[in-house]
Amino acid sequence: MAEGMTWSIEEADKLTQAEIYGDVLCQLGDKYPDLVAITADLAKSTKIGRFGQKFPDRFFNVGIAENTMFGMAAGLAQAGLRPVVSTFAVFTALRSAEQVRTDICYQNLDVKIIATHAGISFGQAGTTHHCTEDIAITRSFANMTVIVPADGIETGNAVVAAMEWPGPVYIRIGRGFEPHVHTTQDYGFEIGKAETINDGNDITIICCGVTVLHAVRAAKVLEKEGLRVRVINMHTIKPIDKDAILKAVEETKRIVTVEEHNVFGGLGSAVGEVIVESGKACAFKKLGLQDIYSIVGYPEDLYNYYKIDSDGIVETISEMMGKKIEEDEDWEDET
Amino acid sequence: MPLTQDEIKELHKKSREIRKQIVEITYSAGGGHIGGSLSQTDVLVALYYKYLNIDPSRAHWEDRDRMILSKGHGGIGWAAILGDKGYFDKTLLKDFNKTGSPFGMHLDSLKVPGCDASTGSLGHGLAIAIGLALGARLKGKNWHTYVMLGDGECCEGSVWEAATIGAHHKLDNLTGFVDRNKLMIDGPTEEITTLEPLEEKFRIFGWESLRIDGHDFAQIGDAIEKAQTIKGKPTMIICDTIKGKCVDFMENDYKWHYGGINSDMVDTAMKSIDSYYQNILG
Using DSSP's 3-state secondary structure scheme, residue A82 falls into: strand
Q: Quick: pLDDT tens for B173-200.
A: 999 999 999 999 999 999 999 999 999 9
Beta bridge partners of A35: A82
Closest chain B residue to A72 measured between Cα atoms? B131
Give the 3-state DSSP-derived string for A215-267, with helices as H, strands as E and coil as C: HHHHHHHHHHCCCCEEEEECCEEECCCHHHHHHHHHHHCEEEEEEEEECCCCH
Q: What is the rounded CA–CA span in Å between residue B191 and residue B196?
A: 11
Query: Considering just the CA atoms, what is the radius of gyration of chain A in Å?
Result: 19
User: Long-range contacts of range A26-29, CB-CB < 8 Å, 24 or more positions apart?
Assistant: A26/A50, A26/A51, A26/A54, A26/A55, A28/A159, A28/A160, A28/A163, A29/A54, A29/A55, A29/A58
Q: What is the rounded CA–CA span in Å between residue A311 and residue B169?
A: 52
Q: Please, what are the domains in chain A?
A: 12-172 (3.40.50.970), 195-322 (3.40.50.920)
Residues of B in contact with A65 (CB under 8 A): 161-162, 164-165
Residue of B106, B108, B128, B158 for testing the chain A interface, max A β-carbons within 10 Å: B128
Residue B177 is predicted with a pLDDT of 98
Distance of residue B107 Cα from the nearest chain A Cα, in angstroms? 11
**What is the enclosing helix (H) or strand (E) of B53?**
none
Residues of A in contact with B126 (CB under 8 A): 68, 71
Residues of B in contact with A168 (CB under 8 A): none
Distance of residue B233 Cα from the nearest chain A Cα, in angstroms? 16
Residue A80 to residue B162, Cβ atoms within 8 A:
no
Residue A71 to residue B130, Cβ atoms within 8 A:
yes
Give the 3-state DSSP-derived string for A151-196, with helices as H, strands as E and coil as C: CHHHHHHHHHHHHCCCCCEEEECCCCCCCCCCCCCCCCCECCECEE
Residue A334 is predicted with a pLDDT of 46
pLDDT range class, residue B282, cuts 50, 70, 90: confident
Q: How many residues comprise chain B?
A: 282
Nearest by CB to residue A65, choosing from B139, B161, B169, is: B161
Residues of A in contact with B109 (CB under 8 A): 107
At B235, which CATH number? Answer: 3.40.50.970
Residue B117 to residue A106, Cβ atoms within 8 A:
no
Using DSSP's 3-state secondary structure scheme, residue B161 falls into: helix
Q: What is the mean pLDDT of residues B226-253?
A: 98
Going residue by residue through chain A, which has 335 residues, state the pLDDT in tens, using 9 for 90 and above: 444 567 888 888 889 999 999 999 999 999 999 999 999 999 999 999 999 999 999 999 999 999 999 999 999 999 999 999 999 999 999 999 999 999 999 999 999 999 999 999 999 999 999 999 999 999 999 999 999 999 999 999 999 999 999 999 999 999 888 899 999 999 999 999 999 999 999 999 999 999 999 999 999 999 999 999 999 999 999 999 999 999 999 999 999 999 999 999 999 999 999 999 999 999 999 999 999 999 999 999 999 999 999 999 999 999 999 854 444 455 454 44
Nearest by CB to residue A102, choosing from B121, B131, B138, is: B121
Domain count, chain B: 1
Residues of B in contact with A57 (CB under 8 A): 138
Residue B117 to residue A107, Cβ atoms within 8 A:
yes
Q: Quick: pLDDT tens for A194-244.
A: 999 999 999 999 999 999 999 999 999 999 999 999 999 999 999 999 999
Interface of A to B at Cβ within 8 Å reads: 36, 57-58, 60, 62-63, 65, 67-81, 83, 98-99, 102-103, 106-108
Residues of A in contact with B117 (CB under 8 A): 74-75, 78, 103, 107
- Residue range(s) defining the domain that contains residue B135: 5-281
> Measured at the alpha carbon of residue A306, what is the angle toward residues A303 and A312, in degrees to the nearest 5?
80
Q: Quick: pLDDT tens for B1-18.
A: 999 999 999 999 999 999
Other residues' Cβ atoms within 10 Å of the Cβ of residue A133? 19
Whether ipTM > 0.85 holds is: yes
Interface of B to A at Cβ within 8 Å reads: 62, 66, 108-110, 116-118, 121, 123-136, 138-139, 141, 158, 161-162, 164-165, 168-169
